[in-house]
Amino acid sequence: MTLTAIKSKTEAVNFVEVVLPVPLKRSFTYAVPQDVATRPELGQRVRVPFGKRRLIGFVTATHTEIPKDLDVDIKKLRPIIEFLDDEPLITPEILRLSEWTADYYASFWGETLKAALPAGMNSENVRPKRRKAVKLLDPALADHSKALTEQQSAILETLTDAGGEMLWIDLLDSANVGASPVNTLVKRRFLDVFVQDILRDPISAEKLPERPAFALTVHQDSALAAITDAIDESEFKAFLLHGVTGSGKTEVYFRAIRHSIAMGRSALMLVPEIALTPVFSRQLRSAFGTTVAILHSGLSQGERFDEWRRIRAGEARVAIGTRSAVFAPLENIGLIIVDEEHDASYRQRESPFYNARDVAVVRANFAGAVAVLGSATPAMESFHNAQNGKYTLLSMPERIGGRNLAAAELVDMREAFRRAGKDVALSAELLEAIGETASRGEQIIVLMNRRGFSQFVLCRTCGETIKCENCDITLTFHRRDGRLSCHYCGFGMPAPRVCPKCESEFLYFVGEGTENIADQLAKKFPALKIERIDRDSITRKGELEQKLRDFAEGRTDMLVGTQMIAKGHDFPNVTLVGVVGVDIGLGLPDLRSAERTFQMITQVAGRSGRGEKPGRVVIQTYHPDHYALKRSMAQDYEGFYGDELKFRENFRYPPFVALASIMVRHRDLSRAKSIANAIRRFLDAANPSKAVRIVGPASASIARLKNEYRMQLILRSESRRELRKVVDIALAEAEARGVEMRYVYVEIDPVSLM
Ligand SMILES: [Zn+2]
Ligand SMILES: [Zn+2]
């Protein structure tokens, strides 16, 4: 056989394997129509028939002939309907990474690939944006038989001034002409009309800030050197960068990214959802110019699509984005940074469940790249990995400028109750501290991590609480709109004047939220300008940024809000942080309650005293002896880590065991129970050695959510391999025996068991 013959034979793709966004573990074979110009490539999106539906899937393998081990009837194969992209959106590397992700998290490849693209990009109507444009042709070849009119001359001049090329509408606008003289010039071959791809740049029109040049601290310098040395080695290495709030992690990230680019490699940085503010985006653009692409949910679908294409085309060598950006199609990646690596937003909370932080480390491993996980309060698992040598620990224990961490004090609310003779939301100590701070012209942040006015409504006559129609959750009262609403499903109703059950008028509004705290503070301090920041008060695009800017520039004296205000922001004039209602988080029956509380307090305390003046933190609690509070007051991460590790060991939680949750969700409680019981039987059958400890099925701690009953099984094992084996065998058996798997949600390494 000649070389040409071999080549043409390998090029003839007659069949493809396609994975589809359906909860099935397999791919599907389709025939390739021979009459279309596009040829299938790995990672390409295709539209295919699936039963009576048409679905968009991804090509994961190509065949010239059907492989012998595939049991398919060629005559029954259906053809691909349409290729959606000229060039595949998914690179071979991302194909492999998404396959690993689906496998590790016991989910489905097609669903993982769908989730790998930024939200909105799965929509088939997102296409490149093209616009009509005009360009000058060589005047020597034009038709000069007639003189040019005034308008025609103006058109040619305008185009010449613009460098010979303009968008059609811009030309009409600038030359102040209609379409007709342009068309005449086209006919006379002075001009040509063509179609131009327009890249929608989300921040092109904005003014970019100057980036000040400054010297690194000793700790920044040695952390950066360790990272850049590792990049130069071109081998996989993972770092945990543990830097206290205000220690200057961002500057280390930026310089490491520049180093990776200078070495001819690309770089990826993941940030929590809340951090990708327009301010931060402008900083990025200022630092990296058009070589950075930014992926986040605030962009329009078109903008996101264009940013993705710029990465895919290699125009953007730095990609920065939230969770799904871990699958950004960068090639030759040298560095992956996960900022605030402990942040819960890296965990996809719907199927396919995955943790972008962990996928990032695996991606770096596959690519021979360097992974940097950064945090002031690392996740327990990450610090454990640093302790046992899986990650290399880099420490930045000091704030820039040698500033001290804020001094913290606890207020025992049991005492406050005794003194006041009634429940008070704001202690005398906190109010006094606010007064003092305000009198010095300094600013205040009050954290209350629950929105609304009152947590729930209780009838004092019959004891009834008013619950959501769809969830096993009490409704929260929002006074401004006079409504009760469910924070889980969005259900709402007007607040009743009498108890819906017994018609008693003695309704009691229990527990404060941000709206209530902001109100009380406004009454106590009428002279202060107070703004509230939570999901209810931020409704328009740009509103959060505006409120933060007003605060940063001193037009507001105090911010009251949920943890939206706890992260990342730098307000040099804030010298007091008050933490109210911290016990809500501590009281949740969840494995990470203490960890999350510690993280939240440390983050918000880090907002205090970032400027020249020393900061102060006042925390109100009914549990002043809790280790999470004591350690966060001292900003003692390692002390907290030690305490929490003991708790995790006692209760057999990660990192001591591998953990999985299997949730059955069904509108019918008896169906939910019978499916969950069936799953338990298959798990037991797959677990004869009892290497996996199985609890349940039992009602989940939120027993009903969004109109579905929730039955939960919890699995633990010292051996991750055993755990996965038992889950895989049991679920495959269950599927084969006709258990309705679409109601079954498997979460490997769950961040929460609620
Ligand atoms: Zn009642
Ligand atoms: Zn609800």
Convert 641-652 into a string of H (helix), E (strand) and C (coil): HHHHHHHHHHCC
- How close is the Cα of 506 to the center of ligand 1, in Å? 8
Instruction: State yes or no: pLDDT of 124 exceeds 80.
Output: no
CB-CB contact of 165 with 195 (8 Å): no
Q: Which ligand is nearest to the CA of 498?
A: 1
Instruction: State yes or no: pLDDT of 448 exceeds 80.
Output: yes
State the chain's maximal CA–CA distance in angstroms.
100
Q: How far apart are CA 104 and CA 49, in angstroms?
A: 29
Q: Which ligand is nearest to the CA of 501?
A: 1
Average pLDDT over residues 55-60: 92
pLDDT tens, position by position, 261-270:
999 999 999 9
Structure tokens at 519: 């109100």
Instruction: State yes or no: pLDDT of 642 exceeds 90.
Output: yes
Average pLDDT over residues 434-444: 94
For residue 557, give the 3-state DSSP assignment: coil
* Residue 278, pLDDT score: 72
- How close is the Cα of 467 to the center of ligand 2, in Å? 8
Instruction: State yes or no: pLDDT of 179 exceeds 90.
Output: no
Round the average pLDDT of the chain to a whole number and report it. Answer: 86
- How close is the Cα of 463 to the center of ligand 1, in Å? 6
Average pLDDT over residues 415-423: 83
Instruction: State yes or no: pLDDT of 660 exceeds 80.
Output: yes
Instruction: State yes or no: pLDDT of 9 exceeds 50.
Output: no
* Residue 144, pLDDT score: 86
- How close is the Cα of 477 to the center of ligand 2, in Å? 13
Average pLDDT over residues 308-325: 91
Q: What share of the chain has pLDDT > 90, as a percent?
A: 43
Question: Amino acid letter at 487?
Answer: H
Q: Count CA within 13 A, CB hemisphere, residue 747.
A: 20
Q: Among 122-131, 319-328, 620-629, where is mean pLDDT lowest?
A: 122-131
Average pLDDT over residues 655-672: 94
- How close is the Cα of 462 to the center of ligand 1, in Å? 4
5 or 486, higher pLDDT: 486
- How close is the Cα of 472 to the center of ligand 2, in Å? 7
Tell me how far the alpha carbon of residue 19 is from its chain's centroid.
24
Nearest to 59 by CA among 103, 101, 113, 12: 113
* Residue 208, pLDDT score: 56
Question: Amino acid letter at 571?
Answer: F
Q: Which ligand is nearest to the CA of 503?
A: 1
Average pLDDT over residues 46-74: 86
Q: Which residues sit with Cβ closer than 5 angstroms to ligand 2, an ion? A: 468, 470-471, 486, 488-489, 491
* Residue 203, pLDDT score: 53
CB-CB contact of 480 with 471 (8 Å): no
Q: Which residue is listed with tokens 């490997």?
A: 748
* Residue 436, pLDDT score: 94
Q: Which ligand is nearest to the CA of 504?
A: 1
Instruction: State yes or no: pLDDT of 385 exceeds 70.
Output: yes
Q: Which ligand is nearest to the CA of 488?
A: 2
Instruction: State yes or no: pLDDT of 747 exceeds 60.
Output: yes
- How close is the Cα of 500 to the center of ligand 1, in Å? 7
Instruction: State yes or no: pLDDT of 530 exceeds 80.
Output: yes
Instruction: State yes or no: pLDDT of 210 exceeds 70.
Output: no
Dihedral angle over CA of 584, 586, 589, 590, nearest 10: 120
Q: How far apart are CA 175 and CA 157, in angstroms?
A: 8
497 or 335, higher pLDDT: 335
Instruction: State yes or no: pLDDT of 10 exceeds 80.
Output: no
Q: Which ligand is nearest to the CA of 469?
A: 2
Average pLDDT over residues 688-707: 92
Instruction: State yes or no: pLDDT of 197 exceeds 80.
Output: no
Average pLDDT over residues 287-305: 82
Q: Which ligand is nearest to the CA of 491?
A: 2
- How close is the Cα of 460 to the center of ligand 1, in Å? 7
Average pLDDT over residues 193-222: 69
Tell me how far the alpha carbon of residue 90 is from its chain's centroid.
20
Nearest to 606 by CA among 568, 662, 645, 553: 568
Q: How far is CA 197 from CA 48, 130, 702, 716, in A?
A: 27, 4, 49, 53
pLDDT tens, position by position, 223-278:
999 999 999 999 999 999 999 887 889 899 999 999 999 999 999 999 987 777 77
* Residue 196, pLDDT score: 67
For residue 45, give the 3-state DSSP assignment: strand
Q: Which ligand is nearest to the CA of 463?
A: 1
- How close is the Cα of 475 to the center of ligand 1, in Å? 15
* Residue 2, pLDDT score: 40
- How close is the Cα of 468 to the center of ligand 2, in Å? 5
- How close is the Cα of 491 to the center of ligand 2, in Å? 5
Strands, E assignment, 499-646: 507-512, 530-533, 558-561, 574-580, 616-621
- How close is the Cα of 466 to the center of ligand 1, in Å? 9
Q: How far is CA 742 from CA 22, 168, 336, 664, 736, in A?
A: 9, 51, 34, 9, 13
First vs last C-alpha separation in the chain: 63
Q: Which residue is listed with tokens 């691909």?
A: 80
Average pLDDT over residues 660-685: 96
Is the link from the previous residue into 352 a cis peptide, with omega within 30 of 0? yes
Q: Which ligand is nearest to the CA of 473?
A: 2
Sheet holding 370-375, edge to edge: 292-295, 318-321, 266-270, 333-338, 370-375, 237-243, 392-396
- How close is the Cα of 473 to the center of ligand 1, in Å? 17
- How close is the Cα of 648 to the center of ligand 1, in Å? 41
Q: Among 292-296, 584-588, 685-689, 737-741, where is mean pLDDT lowest?
A: 584-588
For residue 622, give the 3-state DSSP assignment: coil
Average pLDDT over residues 99-111: 91
Is the link from the previous residue into 181 a cis peptide, with omega within 30 of 0? no
Pairing of strands 165-167, 129-136: antiparallel
Tell me how far the alpha carbon of residue 566 is from its chain's centroid.
17
Q: How far apart are CA 678 and CA 696, in angstroms?
A: 12
Q: How far apart are CA 159 and CA 163, in angstroms?
A: 6
CB-CB contact of 316 with 310 (8 Å): yes
Question: Amino acid letter at 515?
Answer: E
Average pLDDT over residues 690-694: 94
- How close is the Cα of 498 to the center of ligand 1, in Å? 8
- How close is the Cα of 487 to the center of ligand 2, in Å? 7
For residue 561, give the 3-state DSSP assignment: strand
Average pLDDT over residues 523-530: 95
Q: 718: left (phi > 0), else alpha (psi -120 to 50), else beta?
A: alpha
Instruction: State yes or no: pLDDT of 718 exceeds 50.
Output: yes
CB-CB contact of 445 with 608 (8 Å): yes
Instruction: State yes or no: pLDDT of 175 exceeds 70.
Output: yes
Average pLDDT over residues 178-199: 83
CB-CB contact of 606 with 598 (8 Å): no
Q: How far apart are CA 387 and CA 725, in angstroms?
A: 28
85 or 355, higher pLDDT: 355
Q: What string of DSSP letters covers 438-476?
A: HHTT-EEEEEE---SSEEEEEETTT--B-B-SSSSSBPE
For residue 23, give the 3-state DSSP assignment: coil
Q: Among 142-151, 198-207, 349-358, 480-489, where is mean pLDDT lowest?
A: 198-207
- How close is the Cα of 453 to the center of ligand 2, in Å? 17
* Residue 8, pLDDT score: 44
* Residue 205, pLDDT score: 47
Burial call 457-495: b when 16+ CB within 10 Å, e when fewer: bbbebeebebbbebbbbbbbbbeeeeebbbbeeebbeeb
* Residue 3, pLDDT score: 41
* Residue 97, pLDDT score: 95
pLDDT band at 446 (very low <50, low <70, confident <90, very high): very high
* Residue 7, pLDDT score: 42
Q: How far apart are CA 24 and CA 108, in angstroms?
A: 6
Q: Which ligand is nearest to the CA of 472?
A: 2
